[in-house]
A and B are shown apart, each in its own frame.
Chain A
Amino acid sequence: MDFYGINPAVLIASLMVASVPIMLAAIGELVVEKAGVLNLGVEGMMIMGAICGFITAVHSGSPMLGFLGGAAGGAVLSVLFILLTQVFLANQVATGLALTLFGLGLSSLLGQGYNGIKPPATKPLPFGPLTDIPFFGRILFSHDAMVYISIAVIAAVWAMLKYTRAGLILRAVGESHDAAHALGYKVVRIRVLAILFGGAMAGLGGAYVSLVRVPQWTDGITAGAGWIALAIVVFASWKPWRVLIGAYLFGGITVLQLNLQASNSFPIKIPVEYLAMSPYLITILVLVIMSSGRGRASLNAPAALGQNFHASR
């Protein structure tokens, strides 16, 4: 049951894989923004994760160590953001943009000599006969561990924000840091932890790009996935499960356009350039729609988002 040479089961299975990097980066950024910090350096942290994960995996031969290395790489770069915005109270938007530029340059430097090398393969989890179930086996039981881990992270973040005291305090800090401080919560400490988590998740997403999605190293390998992740957080109006939906939507568009490019039997011929730019166009469109007027989305944004905190009073 193919449509113009596109198999729906394969399409869904591959969109699940394609959306892992942006989903991980977006859920990390969601936690950061819920704490009231706007880190626009997601792209930079992702690509640092991509190269650090790649180097670790190539030298250790273990994809799992590679993912850990990627998370560490993203987190280390986020320390720079912490130092600048939480200690020296620099402007968060400018710092985030600088972080992206710095990450792109540094990853390119670190990646010298790694071009053209194949990383160790990441194997799908062994589900045995389950994989052979028609249609659903291909969609649900044919993936590597990271696909399932990324969904688990979404569930964990959702449960933490909704049901735990830690989540309540995190939301409170993002809502009004002055009030949280007055009640005796350590605003900066909580934000530092959130930023580190966001960095690690972005790095993990980046490592998935260089170890599974592509899988090799080239400069600028993340190709704007960090920006799409930022857009997804707004699109999801800061709700974890909507991040999953948003990531699948964007992952789906990416995979679909690739399939359409490859499909010879599709009746309408669309130039490849338009297909390739479609995820980014839709990102812009979504952001414009979501931020126009006083919609629900703008009301749901953490009130202290992007504001620096200094305990002067």
Chain B
Amino acid sequence: MTGDVLLSIEGISKSYPGVKANDDVSFRIGAGEVHALLGENGAGKSTLVKMIYGLVKPDEGRMTLRGATYAPGEPREARSLGVAMVFQHFSLFDALNVAENVALGMDNPPPMRELAGRIREVSEGYGLPLDPSRLVGDLSAGERQRVEIVRCLLQDPKLLIMDEPTSVLTPQEVNILFGTLRQLAAEGTSILYISHKLEEIKALCDEATILRRGKVVGTCTPREKSAREMAEMMVGATLNAPERAAAEPGPVALTVSGLSVASPSAFGTSLRAIGFEVRQGEVLGIGGVAGNGQDELMLALSGEIRTAPDTVKLHGRGIGHLGPNERRKDGVCTAPEERLGHAAAPDMSLAENAFLSGSVRKHLTKNGFIDWTGTRAFAEDVVKTFDVRTPGIGTAARALSGGNLQKFVLGREIMQEPEVIVVNQPTWGVDAAAAAFIRQALLDRASAGAAVVVISQDIDEIMEIADRFAALNEGRLSEPVPTQGLTIDQIGLMLGGAHGMHEAEVHHAHS
């Protein structure tokens, strides 16, 4: 598979005020090689690929593409030299159709009619069928990613950069994506694959470069290493899998039955007759691809959407008609997915944010006035217990990194000692060490007798901490089943399969 060197990177450094994002990074990618770039959040992976794609200029070092000096001033130049990129947060335009989105990513697109034909041809050839005239806003996450990939493929790239491509896909969709990538590699296209999902890297990649705090800390052949070994190279410390004391679940704490809710947003999914129950000391994992009703379920459980009293019951008492603060008072705490703007007010300090959610259960008001002493003590307590890295509790929530803010938000809810805690995507965009910490904290809360509901797109996460698993698909919830003994294939089927994808065909139009 490896032959000539396609891209070599030598001694690249890049500094931002206060941080050295990349420090003397060197590695090589061979033609037709699938090369993994591994590292935690903030390890400098994104900065590095932005330099390769011409979005950022390195301070030092040089890059060589096929023997010639390579220093792209802008993405256009990178694209013209055969470097294409699929972004982590999709670089798509919702209100434009597929063909227009593809045209925007090309430098000399053919006329629309011709382009639509080529999109059909290439997308079918790689097993990623797409209708060029559909609006991107109406597509599923998997389909949206296909648009990005097809946009790259139409330019016949020599190097395809993929930044965390599988975070929103079902297991079946991941398999099909891998089929496409293997096909591309076999045709001689090199792939730079960025991820922190180690099992995927083991399955797909030929070589791996591991970054930590901007430096290369090692290279390896993923097939020869265990996931744990690679994780420890990434983190630079020994990782402990979350543990919990085995305990018999107690009586039923939260009962949801016949919960149907119309979505408040135009592109949302309405909930249809959702029903489940969670016992004290139990963790229920709700899996599903984004946009299948997770947000709406969260809103209905937190009290932001009110329903008939008996659709949501706490210890047998109907609370469906109560708002968020009344539910908090009764012992239901929630942490939504969107950290900035939903779970926390971005421009308010951590202390103020602690007050906003914690005032009811922690009694942070006195005669209608804010008890600042108590509020500060509570915020300090959260920061200390959950190891939130911040200059102080006066810091604005916006200024914290994603992982730190997530630790704060989760900590704020958990330390209110709720009887039921519902979290959506608790470790999204959080690095491995922080994710392990958050999962452990949730398990500890369950051990202390709380009923825990974890809504997540990360199947590995659910398998790791949940006792039972249910899949949310187009607003319907499957019957919860015990996670023990459940295989990834079974989960994939529960999640609604591969949304019409099929394996890449051997014969295809692209050459």
Contact = CB atoms under 8 A, between A and B. Distances in A.
B266 A184 contact: no
A223 interface: no
Contact of A172 (B79, B90, B104): B104
Given A165-B109, A168-B103, A182-B55, A303 B87 contact: no
B54 interface: yes
Contact of B90 (A169, A179, A294): A179
A299 B109 CA distance: 28
A183 B107 CA distance: 10
Contacts of B74: 184
B96 A175 contact: yes
A179 B92 contact: yes
B55 A169 contact: no
B94 A175 contact: yes
Count chain B CB atoms within 10 A of each CB in A175, A183, A303 and give the residue with the most: A183
A175 B93 contact: yes
B95 interface: yes
Contact of B266 (A165, A185, A299): A299
A302 B96 CA distance: 11
Contact of B95 (A175, A182, A183): A175
B91 A179 contact: yes
A165 B266 CA distance: 29
Nearest to A179: B91
A122 interface: no
A180 B103 CA distance: 12
B358 interface: no
A217 to B, nearest CB: 43
Given A175-B93, A175-B94, A183 B100 contact: no
A169 B76 CA distance: 14
Instruction: State the majority secondary structure of interface residues on A.
Output: helix
A191 interface: no
B305 to A, nearest CB: 16
A176 interface: yes
A183 B104 contact: yes
Nearest to A302: B95
Interface residues of B, number: 21
Nearest to A298: B266
Chain A residues touching B, range: 10 to 19
A171 interface: yes
Nearest to A171: B96
Nearest to A311: B55
Interface string B157-174: 000000000000000000
A302 B95 CA distance: 8
A186 B105 CA distance: 14
A90 B180 CA distance: 46
A302 B105 CA distance: 19
A113 B30 CA distance: 76
B93 A172 contact: yes
Q: Which of A175, A302, A303 has most B Cβ within 10 Å? A: A175
Nearest to B101: A172
A168 B105 CA distance: 11
Contact of B87 (A180, A182, A184, A185): A182
B99 to A, nearest CB: 10
B75 A303 contact: no
B54 A303 contact: no
A184 B75 contact: yes
Contacts of B96: 168, 171-172, 175
Interface string A183-211: 11100000000000000000000000000
A176 B94 contact: yes
A245 to B, nearest CB: 22
Interface string A136-173: 00000000000000000000000000000100110110
Interface string B71-93: 00011100100000001011111
A179 B93 contact: yes
A184 B55 contact: yes
A176 B75 contact: no
A185 B91 CA distance: 12
A182 B86 CA distance: 10
B103 A183 contact: no
Which of B54, B79, B92 has the largest count of A CB atoms less than 10 A from its CB?
B92
Interface in B38-58: 54-55
Nearest to A184: B75
A86 to B, nearest CB: 19
Contacts of A176: 91-94
Contacts of B92: 176, 179
Nearest to B72: A184
A80 B95 CA distance: 30
A176 B101 CA distance: 12
Interface in A212-271: none
Residue of B92, B93, B266 with highest tally of chain A CB at under 10 A: B93
Name the residue among B89, B91, B100, B266 with the largest chain A CB count within 10 angstroms.
B91
A183 B94 contact: no
A180 B54 CA distance: 14
Interface in A279-301: 294, 299-300
A178 B94 CA distance: 13
A171 to B, nearest CB: 7
Nearest to A175: B93
Contact of A303 (B94, B103, B105): B94
Contacts of A168: 96, 100, 103-104
Given A175-B95, A179-B90, A169 B266 contact: no
A35 B89 CA distance: 21
Nearest to B266: A294
Given A165-B103, A169-B104, A175-B96, A183 B91 contact: yes
Contacts of B109: 165
Nearest to A300: B95
Interface string B285-309: 0000000000000000000000000
A186 B502 CA distance: 38
A184 B76 CA distance: 7
Nearest to B46: A313
Contacts of B54: 184
B100 A182 contact: no
A179 to B, nearest CB: 4
B149 to A, nearest CB: 15
Interface in A40-87: none
A179 B54 CA distance: 15
A303 B135 CA distance: 14
Q: Which 10 A-B pairs have the closest CB atoms?
A: A184-B75, A179-B91, A175-B93, A182-B91, A184-B74, A184-B76, A172-B104, A175-B95, A172-B93, A176-B93
24 contacts: A168-B96, A171-B93, A172-B96, A172-B100, A175-B93, A175-B94, A175-B95, A175-B96, A176-B91, A176-B93, A176-B94, A178-B91, A179-B93, A182-B87, A183-B75, A183-B104, A183-B105, A184-B74, A185-B104, A294-B266, A299-B266, A300-B95, A302-B95, A303-B95
Given A168-B96, A179-B90, A184-B75, 5 more contacts: A168-B100, A171-B93, A175-B93, A178-B91, A303-B95
Interface of A: 165, 168-169, 171-172, 175-176, 178-180, 182-185, 294, 299-300, 302-303
